[in-house]
């Protein structure tokens, strides 16, 4: 019975997600669902992205957060349109929440839409929210055991971003092992090592976004 209820919830979510995806695709917007643990550096990666691509691509951001607007406040400093979804305790975003806020964005003048999910390595991976691709951010301070412990999110994500690579010498994080594990779970995944603090590897991330936007424009 529980299984059936879950299937129905996911089915309804997926219907709305498809509708959102169709609408955003019609406007040729490349949309990513940015996921990862609290503190992995999702918002910091976004800040680096905006610093680098402002003026080159027209970006918009949807910020999912349990209760606060702290991340949205950080984003709005860059002059990029941002809308906030407070899940009031909900541990992931669902498609209807995204659908509700889309009208607040100028989608006719957007190339790249980033939806930052609630910090969580588990259930965000289960819910499509209208994205073209999912991206997971994993920081080296979380440990390289995380891909094997939370395989679904890595399986679902087209890109895995290993962040805080500058801290590797101070941790037991084995980058090669993490890359091996991620590509075992998801052979075609793109794995990027970056440091949002030093800027190392950010170019590869920006190229991924540029390629996505170009592909979407046809
Ligand atoms: Mg954040
Ligand atoms: Zn959840």
Q: 128-182: per-residue pLDDT in tens?
A: 999 999 999 999 999 999 999 999 999 999 999 999 999 999 999 999 999 999 9
Distances (CA, A) of 100 to 77, 87, 116: 24, 12, 16
Q: How far is CA 32 from CA 26, 165, 205, in A?
A: 16, 22, 13
Residue 218 alpha carbon to ligand 1 centre in Å? 31
Question: Which pLDDT score is estimated for 2?
Answer: 67
CA of 143 to the centre of ligand 2 (A): 22
Distance in Å, CA 185 to ligand 1 centroid:
25
Q: Are 71 and 63 in contact (CB under 8 A)?
A: yes
Alpha-carbon Rg for the chain in angstroms: 17
DSSP 3-state assignment of 83?
strand
**Tell me, what's the pLDDT at 9?**
77
Give the closest ligand to the alpha carbon of residue 9.
2
pTM above 0.85, yes or no: yes
* Residue 1 alpha carbon to ligand 1 centre in Å: 35
Whole-number pLDDT of residue 6: 74
What is the average pLDDT value for the chain, to the nearest integer?
A: 96
Residue 15: per-residue pLDDT = 96
9-35 burial by CB neighbour count: b if 16+ within 10 A, else e? eeeebeebbeebbeebeeeebbbbbbb
Tell me the per-residue pLDDT of 1-36, one tens digit each, with 9 for 90 and over: 567 777 777 889 999 999 999 999 999 999 999 999
- CA 41 to centroid of ligand 1, rounded, Å: 7
Q: Rounded distance, CA 153 to CA 177, Å? A: 17
How many other β-carbons are positioned within 10 Å of the β-carbon of residue 71? 21
Average pLDDT over residues 54-72: 94
Q: What beta strand segments (E) does 56-142 contain? A: 59-65, 82-86, 112-116, 133-139
Distance 71 CA to ligand 1 centre (A): 5
Closest ligand to the CA of 39: 1
Task: Name the percent of the chain lying above pLDDT 90.
Answer: 93
Q: Is the pLDDT of residue 101 over 70?
A: yes
Name the nearest CA neighbour of 106 among 83, 84, 76, 73: 83
């Amino acid at each position: 019975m529980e299984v059936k209820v879950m299937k129905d919830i996911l089915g309804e979510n997926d219907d709305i997600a498809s509708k959102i995806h169709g609408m955003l695709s019609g406007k040729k917007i490349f949309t990513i669902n940015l996921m990862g643990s609290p503190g992995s550096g999702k918002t910091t990666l976004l800040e680096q992205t905006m610093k680098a691509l402002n003026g080159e691509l027209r970006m918009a951001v949807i910020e999912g957060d349990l209760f606060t607007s702290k991340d949205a406040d950080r984003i709005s400093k860059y002059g990029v349109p941002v809308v906030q979804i407070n899940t009031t305790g909900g541990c992931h975003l669902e498609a209807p929440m995204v659908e509700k806020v889309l009208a607040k964005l100028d989608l006719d003048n957007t190339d790249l839409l980033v939806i930052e999910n609630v910090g969580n390595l588990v259930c965000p991976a289960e819910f499509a929210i209208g994205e073209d691709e999912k991206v997971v951010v994993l920081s080296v301070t979380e440990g390289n055991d995380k891909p094997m412990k939370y395989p679904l999110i890595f399986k679902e994500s087209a890109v895995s971003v290993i962040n805080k690579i500058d801290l590797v010498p101070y941790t037991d994080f084995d980058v090669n092992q993490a890359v091996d594990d991620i590509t075992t779970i998801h052979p075609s995944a793109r794995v990027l090592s970056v440091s949002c603090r030093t800027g190392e590897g950010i170019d590869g991330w920006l190229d991924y976004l540029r390629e996505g936007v170009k592909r979407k424009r046809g």
